[in-house]
Structure 1
Amino acid sequence: MQRVTLTLDDALLAAVDAHAERHGYANRSEAVRDALRRALAAAAEPAAEPERCCATLSYVYEHEKRELSRRLARVQHGHHDLAVASLHVHLDHDTCLEVAVLRGPTEAVRRLADAVTTQRGVRFGHLHMLPAAEDEAATVADNGGHPHPAKG
């Protein structure tokens, strides 16, 4: 690991310290490293994205909107190979929150997220992607498509 010296104005340093304390970082370095990783990932060109990812797709929608539940189910069934798990919560009489845990090719995960969040009646949507384990693709292939590690 390299040691780097940064010069920050007092207000920015106070904000870093407050962020580190609020999120429970052991020190400033950990907080700054995470902030840099997030900033670099957000600024990455699509070509720099990993080939495979793990992701959560969270969205809030009006469950009574005409045919929306059926349309959402159709979209998700069309991408069943990406779905790991999902959570459905009734927020109030008219509104539901769903969180889907996804895993697969990054571009396919992004297409699924776009297909869900652009449906009429979906109020808010957010896709949070993380790179998949580097050896995941090899492990899946070695186990006949089953995603658990081989017993050794």
Structure 2
Amino acid sequence: MTVVSISMPDELLNRVDEFAEEHGYTGRSEVFREAARNLLGEFEDKKLEDRDLMGVVTVLFSYENSTVEERMIRLRHEYENLVSSNVHNHVGDHYCMELFILEGDLATISTFVGKIRATQDTFTVDYSVIPVDEMGPFAGHE
């Protein structure tokens, strides 16, 4: 197995180590392998391919960090055919929340979410995707 070196803040690494111990992982490598598999598999759901989808993406970042806000504005304009709505809210005294409502296909939504996740200095990026075509959100579920 190949050994990979990554950089991350000490606080995040401590959280990973605590998580591994609390949940019975053999170590942080096992946590990172599972996280990577989950991340890579998120948009590989065959039930979502070739369907009209709605996505909701929420981003939380520091109020003081204008570079994140500028990046969100650039992405909104770059993906104007995907972003059907965008809301910017202040949360508490120090945070901003960006909410994107998306309508499009799996590949485009995946690329958009990937670019948001790649934006430095965001605290969290959360999203969900559901089909909104004629088959409905529960197609294939019994």
> Please, what TM-score do these two structures have when normalized by structure 2?
0.58
Going from structure 1 to structure 2, the CA distance change for 1:105 and 1:65 (only over 3 Å counts) comes to same
Q: In structure 2, what is the Cα distance between the partners aligned to 1:64 and 1:104?
A: 32
Whether the 8 Å contact between 1:88 and 1:96 is mirrored in structure 2 is: yes
Percentage identity across paired residues of the two chains: 15
Whether the 8 Å contact between 2:59 and 2:125 is mirrored in structure 1 is: yes
Q: In structure 1, what is the Cα distance between the partners aligned to 2:115 and 2:101?
A: 15
Residue aligning to 1:65: 65
Structure 1 alignment gaps of length 5 or more:
1-41, 136-152
- The structure with more radius of gyration: 1
Cα RMSD, aligned residues only? 2.5
| 1:121 aligns to 2:121 (yes or no) | yes
> Please, what TM-score do these two structures have when normalized by structure 1?
0.54
Residue aligning to 2:105: 105
Going from structure 1 to structure 2, the CA distance change for 1:116 and 1:91 (only over 3 Å counts) comes to same
Q: Tell me the number of residue pairs that the alignment of Structure 1 and Structure 2 aligns.
A: 95
Equivalent residue letter for 1:121: D
Q: In structure 2, what is the Cα distance between the partners aligned to 1:78 and 1:60?
A: 20
Q: In structure 2, what is the Cα distance between the partners aligned to 1:58 and 1:98?
A: 6
Q: Structure 1 or 2: larger helix share?
A: 1
1:1-152 aligned at under 5 Å gives the runs 45-51=44-50, 52-134=52-134
